[in-house]
Amino acid sequence: MSYDLVVWDGDLPIDDRQAASVYNELFERYLESDDVVVPPAPRITAYVEALVAQYPDDTRSCVWASPPVIDEASGPIVYLLMSYARAEEVSAYAAVLAHEHGLTCFDPQGESLRP
């Protein structure tokens, strides 16, 4: 079981509804198809590097449900799959780090922005 967060580069949505719409568009365009391979955008790469510096994504780690994290990134978006046991701690850090990097953090389960 995992807890998922999505982080993307782009204008900050004005509310949860707009964020859900942007998320759906980005997911469909960049993550849904295995046929389209788009390298992660530089800001997403920098974010993932900072994230895994704090929470390594090696196979011994119990943090990530789908390591390596960078493999879940495409273009301006990264889909973070965290082990449920560490989700509260890691998701809070991931959200703060996204804000520090000027990125949007969204909870697709709750369909809400993460402050």
Instruction: For residue 70, give the 3-state DSSP assignment.
Output: helix
Instruction: Note the pLDDT tens digit of each residue in 16-33.
Output: 999 999 999 999 999 997
pLDDT of residue 115: 82
Asked whether residue 40 carries a pLDDT value surpassing 90, the answer given is yes
Residue in the block written with tokens 């949505």 = 13
Per-domain residue ranges of the chain = 2-113
For residues 12 and 19, give the distance between their C-alpha atoms in angstroms, rounded to a whole number: 8
Q: What pLDDT band is residue 36 in, cutting at 50, 70 and 90? A: confident
What's the Cα-to-Cα distance from 104 to each of 7, 28, 92, rounded to whole Å? Answer: 5, 17, 13
pTM of the model: 0.94
User: What is the H or E stretch that residue 80 is in?
Assistant: strand 77-83
Contact 73, 44 (CB under 8 A): yes
Asked whether residue 1 carries a pLDDT value surpassing 80, the answer given is no
Instruction: Note the pLDDT tens digit of each residue in 79-105.
Output: 999 999 899 999 999 999 999 999 999
